[in-house]
A and B are shown apart, each in its own frame.
Chain A
Amino acid sequence: MSVWEKIEELEKQIDKFKSLSVEEHIEVDEVIVILKEKINDLHKNLTSWDRTRMARHIDRPKFLDYVPKLFNYFQEIGGDRKFKNDNAIICGLASLDKRKVVVIGQEKGKDTSDKIYRNFGMSHPEGYWKTIRVMKLAEKFGLPLLLFVDTPGAYPGIGAEERGQLVAIAENLYELSGIRIPIIVTILGEGGSGGALALGVGDRLLMMENAIYSVISPEGCAAILWRDASKAEQAANALKISAFDLKEFGIIHEIIQEPGGGAHKDFNAAADKLKKSIKNSLNKLVKVPIDELLDQRYNMLRKFGVFKEK
């Protein structure tokens, strides 16, 4: 039985006890507390591979699910002004309570036809040209930028290469490193490789508890280093891609706690926590003079890496 199946089993038991308490008027609070503790213990022991499966869970909330929970106003704006509108990346003008912000998020899609429409969250260069256009709009009006990451990676296809996927991603990194507005990045689900990093540069990096962030997909790593894509579990654990790993490495600032069983089990609670964290970070960032903020951003980027020198 996988950890998730065990957690699900315990959750079913909690539901059973709850209905017992209603129907039979039995005191069950103590049992429920014990069961919830058990779930929390199981959570702490999840491996990177367990998190990978949760990050890709079919019911996991996607970027567009979060939009109405986080923002009281949202108006999508589209297009790269060059070639087309990429539906795997959504840009918008939004209000976070009273604060105006500009939002860019990767969307994988819900059901089959929506997933195809969103290209499973895998952008072509147009998506990254659109983000550059929109972040410059945010910069022009001094609006903070909120980035949301959830993608298996940038799309590997003929058209994507013809239209310069490599230049599009590189220019995103270049622009984000120096754009003169506060940026908050949230990794919602899958942070897959360069396609995720292209929206992953900012002043604060938040990560949902069951999200992953990796240089390569576990399957891709297994296929190359183990010559066997079915060794993905081993690869995931070796790559250390969970939010807790990244917090320990000092790469992300904050882990957003998810309800037992994952964000989809109590989406309102998960979204509330995320909103609170984003607001907290934003309140701090907008107070920092912009030149100081850019220095801090540069120093943060410069410190990424581990090596020895003698």
Chain B
Amino acid sequence: MTAWLKKSILKKKEPDNQWIKCPDCAEILYKNLLIDNINVCTRCGHHFRLSPDGWLGYLVNRGTFKEINENIQSVDPLDFSDAKERYVDKLNRSMKKTGMKSAIITGVGKIGKQKACLGIMNFAFLGGSMGSVLGEKVARLFEHAIELSLPVILISASGGARMHEGIYSLLQMAKTSAAIRKHSEAGQLYISIMTDPTTGGVSASFSALGDIMIGEPGALIGFAGPRVIEQTIKQKLPPKFQTAEFLYDHGMLDMIVNRKELKSILIELLTFFG
């Protein structure tokens, strides 16, 4: 049998890609059931990544979410191209693929009886990388929360700073941290939720500045990428290194929360500090 024939037969066995294999327990999961279970493996509890729509549907009361600053878009300040393509082309591809204009959605919504400002990152948009737009939307979210006297809940998923915007990307770390300080000085609560993965410039700025910091089970969280560390120190990394559990054990997180319990925990925290 030729290779292409084999491929097409195999493809037919999985119509429309309705099945997905769990990377932890190897269970073959029906996608629709997985979505009903907010992307948590029904067998072993592995947390798959969740899209902003998935998060909103799960956490926020139906019909209460109002998006803000949805029309901010990236430009190409450095006229940047890598080996393969221009940055603008890469951006256009990501916008088409995700249906989003940036790697974060921000707005105001109700969780239980409490109103809160929400930011939800999308790893599918250029690896959730932070450029000028992401930094601006995060800073404006905290400023909006100061005006409305509301807490902020921010769900991170990011590989780090967006190289294609050079120094502008790096400076977003300082910009977002400054806005969080203003929000904090106004006496408002900030809950940071780190999902898989939260690394680099995002992990070392707004994600790490929560009054309460929550990690998802098994999520990769760290400053330097594991490959960079391995190359630098020239030794194998210990098991569970840079997982949420590792960070919790070393005192960097308040708690690790299973996604299925997250909503009730958030309601409790908002009520406690509210």
Contacts and interface: CB of A to CB of B under 8 A. Distances in A.
A177 B174 contact: yes
B213 to A, nearest CB: 9
Interface of A is mostly: helix
Contacts of A306: 75, 77, 132, 165, 168
B171 A161 contact: no
A49 B232 CA distance: 23
Interface string B36-77: 000000000000000000000000000000000101111101
B77 A226 contact: no
B82 interface: yes
A156 interface: yes
State which size class the interface on A falls in: 35 or more
Contact of B174 (A161, A201, A226): A201
Contacts of A297: 178
B75 A307 contact: yes
Given A215-B163, A307-B72, A158 B223 contact: no
B204 A169 contact: yes
Interface string A225-251: 111100100000011110001100101
Interface stretch (A103-111, A192-200, A275-283): A192-200
A215 B233 contact: no
A164 B81 contact: no
Interface string A150-165: 0000111110111111
B175 interface: yes
B163 A170 contact: no
Interface stretch (B25-33, B115-123, B144-152, B180-188): B180-188
A167 B252 contact: yes
Contact of B166 (A157, A241, A302): A241
A246 B167 CA distance: 8
A38 B254 CA distance: 61
Given A164-B252, A170-B208, A304-B172, A240 B136 contact: no
Nearest to B172: A305
B181 A174 contact: yes
B161 interface: yes
Interface of B: 69, 71-75, 77-78, 80-83, 131-133, 135-136, 139, 161, 163, 165-175, 177-182, 185, 200-201, 203-209, 221-225, 228-229, 232-233, 237-238, 241-242, 246-247, 250-252
9 tightest A-B CB contacts, nearest first = A156-B224, A305-B132, A177-B178, A173-B177, A170-B208, A225-B82, A304-B171, A215-B170, A165-B223
23 contacts: A160-B224, A161-B222, A161-B224, A161-B242, A165-B224, A170-B173, A170-B205, A173-B178, A173-B205, A194-B201, A215-B167, A215-B201, A225-B82, A231-B83, A249-B167, A301-B171, A301-B175, A304-B135, A304-B172, A305-B168, A305-B172, A308-B74, A309-B69
